[in-house]
Amino acid sequence: GGKDAINTTIINFNNEKMQITWATRELFPNENMSFFYTFDEGNHKVWKPCTTYLLDQDYNSGCLFKTEGPTLAISLRNSNGSEELFYKRLKADFYIKPSPPENVTFFWEEDTVTVSCNKPERNAWCLRLELQYKSKFDKEWQSRTSKCCSVGEQGFDPRKCYSFRVRLRRRVPHCNVVNYSSDWEAETFWMNGTLLDSCDDDITPQSKTVIVLSCSLAVLIMMFILLILLCQLQRVQMSVLPAIPDPKKPFADLFNDHNGNLQEWLDKNDHVVLQTKLEYEEPESVTEAESQQEDGKNSDKQGPLEKIFTFSGAAENNDGKAAEIACLIPASNTIAPFAGFHILMNDDMYVML
């Protein structure tokens, strides 16, 4: 490689400080380069050695120095400076990297925002102000560029939070041979003209109220639906599994007053006639004689069978109605009293109340 084969990077920071870096490790792997520069023009140049080197693995890889003029000449030499390995002459003004914009202001008017900054003292016409913004729902930045030092954009949704950032760019090729831009100004967050700490704080009190009301309404609707389902479930349960009546209701005094003692309850209620009575009336066409004949026949047919229920008050009652319940059972050896009645029982029978 010759003197033009070395790759260099030149940056003029806001026309205040120069940074020159080079890549010589591939061409001169065992050579630690030395750097010289001058802003003088003509044949009487005064070369200045670099006082601030940038290092890469203990090898010189760059130099920082003050910008002193528009024209710059650089020279890369061997370690002791006796042999020049690279030389280049350039316009320092064509490698300017601007500083970030200063005093950035945002002006909001309905859905339009205008961003402006301080105008640089020199060569403001070479600069462009770039605005980038995105909402929480955007994945990529949207960009707008205008001449220094104001840029406007419209169509912002007042219900959304937006992130904004701005920077200055040098015009190419009118002012720069390299497309250099400043670093981004600190990112800011705005919602409907209000500056926020971040877009995580864009939940306003009104939206909180809406959320609370929505949640409450949803809970009420769910409770109403559950109530309807519960009623339907009870209906299905009653149709499939009907309720079993509680025996305590018809015999409340048995359980409440006598604690379930059947004998005590029976002794106290001997005067009460059974609630279920068999009521009948003698047909008008049947005479008293025929009734007696029928009774005689029934008594003859009864034989060993006996009448087990006899109402004690039936003989004393002269009314045309008689109430008795007759049950025919086989002969037994035991007679059990029940509520004033005599029940003939054997080992193979049971009584239902």
Q: Transcribe 269-297 into DSSP letters.
A: TTTPPPS--------TTS-HHHHHHHHHH
CATH class in words for 8-97: mainly beta
What residue segments make up the domains of the chain, in order of their start?
Answer: 8-97, 105-196, 204-240
Superfamily of segment(s) 105-196: Immunoglobulins (2.60.40.10)
Cα distances (Å, whole numbers) of residue 100 to 33, 61, 200, 261: 33, 26, 26, 102
Instruction: Show the tokens assigned to 149.
Output: 């030092």
Of 260, 240, 242, the closest CA to residue 251 belongs to: 260
Q: Transcribe 124-193 into DSSP letters.
A: GGGEEEEEEEEETT-SS-EEEEEETTEEEEE---TTS-EEEEEEEEE-TTTT-SS--BPPPPPPEEEETT
pLDDT-derived band at 267, boundaries 50, 70, 90:
confident
Residue 212, pLDDT score: 84
Instruction: Show the tokens assigned to 113.
Output: 């925002």
Q: Which range has highest mean pLDDT (25-34, 126-135, 225-234, 306-315)?
A: 126-135
DSSP-assigned beta bridge partners for residue 336: 343
Of the CA atoms within 13 Å of residue 286, those in its CB half-sphere come to: 10
Lowest mean pLDDT among 39-48, 128-137, 234-243: 234-243
pTM of the model: 0.54
Lowest mean pLDDT among 69-83, 147-161, 251-265: 251-265
CB atoms within 10 A of CB 133: 21
**pLDDT tens-digit profile of 289-339?**
455 555 555 555 444 444 434 444 444 444 444 444 444 444 445 666 655
